Structure 1
Amino acid sequence: MSVSRLFLSVLLKRLLGLFLAVAVLPAAAQAPLEVLVVASSHVNGSPAEEYRPIIDKLKAYKPDMVFSENVSAAEMQQLPTDGYSRQMFGPRYQYVQRLSPRAKPLSDKAVAKTEKALVGFPYYHNARTDLARHYVLNYDRSGAEYQLYVLETHMKPRFGKQELAYYTTVFGSSDSLRAKKLIRPTSEYQTIYFPLVYELNHPRIYPMDCQLYDEPWSLAWQRTQKSVEALLARAKADSTLPEAATARKIAASKKAYSHFWNDINTSLDAYLAMSTPRYDALDEAFNFYGGEALYGAPGFPTEEVKAMKAQWLLRNQGMCANIVRQARAQGARRVVVAVGASHGQILRELLAQVPGVKAIRFTELP
């Protein structure tokens, strides 16, 4: 068995163990769980009022928890330092650590106490500042960004002089936080999910991403990309080759995806559209060079695309396990999962396979 196949075999066994662990939870933990998977855009540049109808629909759903497509602190610290997630978060950690070189993460007990206090009275500004810093120093991106959203959007105008001075000492200026991407004004979280969590008075937004397979995914993607580039080059050099028809189909899948957005007028329309079977099919073809419809076509790198999909499946299985495990640990009955639109369909399919779990679309909300 090759090293890559052995590695994939080990990963599959590990994921199977996670799913078995979920499936055999005690009966008390197997209460029905409904998961609203919201296929979302990572870039949301419309005026704030366009996102209010989306927030209101989600708020009326009354979720017990809201999940973000971020890696947990525990997983982040397991990842290699040269991995994508650690490299992306590294400058943010270093920025905050330089401002408070002697600060350490809070204890679990102190975090729980602070979160409980802020749910009861949200205006303990210094305590929230300390909590936000804790999340950065503990490699918890979702926790850090949420608390900074609350501080910058809702609390800063209420700061006293000393509170403002303390906050500035810990985090610097708002411009610096934006430059370090600890505040991302056009992210789906800043525009939709952080306001939702704040208005629901939840203590936190929960991370559920899985980046344990990022390296093999990147390798699989690179191999596929090289094969597709070679296919396109051959097709360009000789349009009479059978491969040229495959190249045209790949181009058509990209064009169809682009045309899908032509009739979308508002942000609510976009979020509803991203929750349709038509979008799911177009997105699969767009992300996988024409997708399963081209398996076996002349020159199409079928095996390379399948290898990509194997890593994609592992990541989404990990996400699914993270959602169910945390939801059942909290005794949640209904949860909202904010996820990049390409994950929507596969997550719904995987969640539907878990006993006691029902996955629904954004379009199913009243």
Structure 2
Amino acid sequence: MRLRYTLLGGLLAFSSLGAQAQGPLPALDGKMPGPRSSVLVLGTPHLSEIKRPLAEPLQPLIERLAAFKPDIITIENLSGEQCDLIARHPAVYPAEELAPYCVNTEPAKAATGLDVPAAIAEYTKTLREWPAQPTAAQRRRLAAAFLAGGEHPSALVQWLQLPADEQHVGDGLDATLVARLQKLSGSNNESYSIAARLAAKLGLTRVYATDDHTGDNVQIDDEKAYGEAIRAAWDRASKQAKANRAHQEELSKGDDLLALYRFVNRPDVLRTGIENDFALAMADPSPQHYGRYYVAGWEARNLRMVANIRAAFRERPGARVLSIVGSSHKPWFDGLLGQMQGVEIVDAEKALK
């Protein structure tokens, strides 16, 4: 396997010596048989900031997304694998900065005996052999393995597909893990309230955590000066940007959350948002060019996230992919994923009508 990758990389390097690419990647899929992969990027506010129950207000949105019929759903969460990597390199990834993005797998390890690598090995093998009609015991065991592997949204996908009388202790789930799943089922976080619930509704086995915080692990000597520079950039936001933020906040207080998602996914709203964040940062006048640190970290993060999304459907030509991500990421996701061969970007405005 490694030799195959090495040879392929050498051939690509040799073939590119005479022609450096300029501008967007060329289209190479004109004679590709079969359907393109369709990717719908749903920009989202972070719903965990809303404290009232959202199950009912989210139903119209979930129905629109179900009509898209995604085969694969990706979320803005760190994978258990990356959290395991981060934990093994505290000198590179300070625990106090990145650990909050990772879930606690110790209770699941105590219940199952699986550390994160062993859990990943188990659920990977299980998914390869997953039957069309799994038993309740199989679902409970897979949920336990997902919890031990740091993939809590995927654990909830399995839990929600169990009949109510089968949502109990057993097959690796102890009372602590059952309580955890019950709590997650009421979470407002979009990875649970939208992605996991939609995946369960569609009969999918999991969701894919595709966030990445290794690329934006920027090394800064003077954090105070850096923070002041970025805040100064944000303070120069336009009246339209401030009005958009106020309108989004007002929509988030109501029960018409479909209207909220239609608003945050409008191209003009997205454009105003990034112009009054990243464009202002690029104009930062500090001698250290701190704004460029900020944007470089953001772009590195988006590149790695998009690579994770592409990997999620690399073995599924023609897949329908729903990527749920903070709305500021959407312009980068649409642009980068739109350059992939055999991929088309779905218009979010039309999908939400």
* TM-score range for the pair, normalised by the shorter chain length: 0.7 to 0.9
Do the aligned partners of 2:41 and 2:322 also contact (CA within 8 Å) in 1?
Answer: yes
**Counterpart in the other structure of 1:315:** 301
Q: Aligned partners of 2:70 and 2:271: how far apart in 1?
A: 28
**Counterpart in the other structure of 2:104:** 92
Superposed CA RMSD in Å reads 4.0
- The partner residue of 1:261 within 248, 263, 271 is 248
Alpha carbons of structure 1 residues 165 and 360: separation in structure 2 relative to 1, 3 Å:
closer
Aligned-residue offset at 1:352: 1.9
- The partner residue of 1:112 within 115, 124, 128 is 128
- The partner residue of 1:158 within 158, 162, 165 is 165
Amino acid at match of 1:70: N
**Counterpart in the other structure of 1:364:** 350
Q: Secondary structure at the match of 1:329?
A: coil
Q: Which has the higher helix share?
A: 1
Amino acid at match of 2:67: A
Q: Aligned partners of 2:329 and 2:221: how far apart in 1?
A: 20
CA deviation string 1:213-252 (max 9, x = no partner): 13217889865313356x6xxxxxxxxxxxxxx8863485
Aligned-residue offset at 1:263: 5.9
**Counterpart in the other structure of 1:332:** 318
Q: Aligned partners of 1:51 and 1:301: how far apart in 2?
A: 46
Q: Aligned partners of 2:340 and 2:326: how far apart in 1?
A: 21
Do the aligned partners of 2:265 and 2:348 also contact (CA within 8 Å) in 1?
Answer: yes
In the alignment, structure 1 residue 38 sits paired with structure 2 residue 42 = yes
Do the aligned partners of 1:71 and 1:209 also contact (CA within 8 Å) in 2?
Answer: yes
Aligned-residue offset at 1:276: 0.9
In the alignment, structure 1 residue 59 sits paired with structure 2 residue 57 = no
Do the aligned partners of 2:76 and 2:325 also contact (CA within 8 Å) in 1?
Answer: yes
Aligned residue pairs: how many?
A: 316
Q: Aligned partners of 2:27 and 2:225: how far apart in 1?
A: 35
Q: Secondary structure at the match of 1:339?
A: strand
Matches within 5 A, 1:239-318: 249-250=236-237, 255-261=242-248, 264=251, 265=254, 266-285=256-275, 288=277, 291-293=278-280, 296=283, 303-318=289-304
TM-score, normalised to structure 2's length? 0.73
Q: Aligned partners of 2:234 and 2:74: how far apart in 1?
A: 39
Q: Aligned partners of 2:45 and 2:318: how far apart in 1?
A: 26
**Counterpart in the other structure of 2:216:** 214
CA deviation string 1:64-89 (max 9, x = no partner): 21111223344333334444686236
Q: Aligned partners of 1:29 and 1:208: how far apart in 2?
A: 28
Amino acid at match of 1:211: H
Do the aligned partners of 1:66 and 1:336 also contact (CA within 8 Å) in 2?
Answer: yes
Alpha carbons of structure 1 residues 198 and 21: separation in structure 2 relative to 1, 3 Å:
farther
Range with bigger deviation, 307-316 or 203-212: 203-212
- The partner residue of 2:140 within 98, 118, 129 is 129
Alpha carbons of structure 1 residues 67 and 189: separation in structure 2 relative to 1, 3 Å:
same
Amino acid at match of 1:207: A
Q: Percent of counterpart pairs with the same letter?
A: 19
Matches within 5 A, 1:221-232: 223-228=225-230
TM-score, normalised to structure 1's length? 0.71
Aligned-residue offset at 1:188: 0.9
**Counterpart in the other structure of 1:4:** none
In the alignment, structure 1 residue 68 sits paired with structure 2 residue 75 = yes
In the alignment, structure 1 residue 204 sits paired with structure 2 residue 197 = no
Note the residue ranges of structure 1 that are not aligned, 5 or more in a row. 1-19, 232-245
Q: Aligned partners of 1:311 and 1:169: how far apart in 2?
A: 39
Do the aligned partners of 2:123 and 2:142 also contact (CA within 8 Å) in 1?
Answer: no
Alpha carbons of structure 1 residues 177 and 272: separation in structure 2 relative to 1, 3 Å:
same
Note the residue ranges of structure 2 that are not aligned, 5 or more in a row. 1-23
Do the aligned partners of 2:75 and 2:324 also contact (CA within 8 Å) in 1?
Answer: yes
Matches within 5 A, 1:10-25: none
Alpha carbons of structure 1 residues 135 and 214: separation in structure 2 relative to 1, 3 Å:
farther
CA deviation string 1:36-57 (max 9, x = no partner): 0000122154542221111111
Amino acid at match of 1:71: L
Do the aligned partners of 1:33 and 1:358 also contact (CA within 8 Å) in 2?
Answer: yes
Q: Secondary structure at the match of 1:215?
A: coil
